[in-house]
Structure 1
């Protein structure tokens, strides 16, 4: 079992990154590849080593919480690695955990690849296993989990997926002002279940327009 990989990110794509570890490049699928574009220094990627008959794959995460949630999601019937990765691209672990513990099917069915029956299985299988991930977090209307109820909703505009997309775009050299303009131009047409990658593509279209 490969628990983590430490090295420099030498390439990233819409689905994966490549981490150079002593001149060996590990292809690692991750919820938000652009999050690892923030630095040219060595990073630690927490991994899940998935072996099947026709492939050996690595799935990677920025935090232990994401890694743990990914593994919990794989315990649910009907959720494979790709769907679990999509779930974490659509919501932070604490937000997903809070939705499961609150039996918030409306939020869960907005996650990529999750229908009502799968959402119900997630609640049934995981509700009592995620307390460590949720802690005292609550869930806002847009799916953000937070433990400070004094944070005004306007500071959370765009939700988790847009915040991660914004970080990835900033790492590519775009300024906060440019990204804010892109968001205001596209926000009225954004769907609640859009992934980080989809939002990045939308924003890039706006940025290319000038």
Structure 2
């Protein structure tokens, strides 16, 4: 099993990044790959979880060990698979997620694709009281100051592909798009996605 990888970040795709480690390009699925945008073509350290099935071996990556530990807790819950775990972490609001579990907020948890009431209740049952030690260690990336944004920018297209890949429906995306288009300050796909997640998780 891998603990982490250190290498050059050579590509960012809607669902995964590619890290070159001594000439070998590793495809690593991560929650919101665009959080790594500022490190493109630079050396990165990515914490790794390796999932092995009969028909595939997949690498999942994380910004730090705290995010990885939160992910491992999530996928230990019946009904939460590796992809669902990434979808839940993609919005980056780890504090909000932990608080929702502690508050037994089923409504918040069912906002994530693939999480119904039964699975949400199972998350609460299995994880309540077991995540608070992670709160202080988890850091939410700081978004840089923004300038202008063109609604036809590739940021929107990349964000839409990322949302679809995470399991959000066309209807979900269409519901929030008018609100996103009202904001002319986006400067990156990461910023578009962060706002999209906030809108998708609103009551």
Q: Answer whether TM exceeds 0.5 for this pair.
A: yes
- Trace 1:37-48 onto structure 2 (pairs within 5 A): 37-39=37-39, 40-48=41-49
**Which residue of the partner structure matches residue 71 of structure 1?**
72
The alpha-carbon deviation at position 117 of structure 1 amounts to 1.0
Aligned ranges for residues 115-194 of structure 1 at < 5 Å? 115-134=116-135, 167=143, 176-179=146-149, 186-187=178-179
Cα separation, 2, equivalents of 1:103 and 1:32: 25
Give the SS at the match of 2:90: helix
Cα 1:20/1:96, change in 2 over 3 Å: same
Conserved? CA contact 1:16–1:27, under 8 Å = yes
CA distance in 1, matches of 2:16, 2:75: 19
Q: Which residue of 1 aligns with 2:21?
A: 21
Offset at residue 91 of structure 1 (A): 4.1
CA deviation map 1:58-78 (0-9, x unaligned)? 000112121111100111101
Equivalent in the alignment of 2:104: 103
In structure 2, runs of 5+ residues without a counterpart are 157-176, 183-188, 197-203
Flag the 1:133–1:180 CA change in 2: closer, same or farther, 3 A. farther
Contact 1:91 1:111 (8 Å CA) reproduced: no
Find runs of 4+ consecutive structure 1 residues off by over 3 angstroms: 179-183, 196-200
Q: Give SS of 1:103's match.
A: coil
What secondary structure sits across from 1:9 in the alignment?
Answer: strand
Provide the rounded CA distance (Å) in 2 between the counterparts of 1:107 and 1:91: 14
Is 2:60 the counterpart of 1:59? yes
- Residue 4 of structure 1 pairs with residue 4 of structure 2: yes
Distance 1:129 1:60 in 2: 22
Choose between structure 1 and 2: higher helix proportion. 1
Give the 3-state SS of the residue equivalent to 2:45 in structure 1.
strand
Matched-pair contact (CA < 8 Å) for 2:101–2:123: yes
1:208 alignment counterpart: none
SS class of match (1:128): coil
The count of residues paired between Structure 1 and Structure 2 equals 164
User: Per-residue deviation at 1:179?
Assistant: 4.2
Q: Distance in 1 between matches of 2:4 and 2:60?
A: 10
TM-score w.r.t. length of structure 2: 0.70
Q: Are 2:48 and 2:68, in contact at CA under 8 Å, matched by a contact in 1? A: yes
- Contact kept? 1:9, 1:37, Cα under 8 Å: no
| Structure 1: tracts of 5 or more residues without a match | 136-144, 147-159, 191-195, 204-210
Deviations 1:36-90 (A, max 9, x none): 1202320111110111111011000112121111100111101100000100113
Give secondary structure in 2 for the equivalent of 1:111: coil
Q: Is the 8 A contact 1:30 1:59 kept in 2?
A: yes
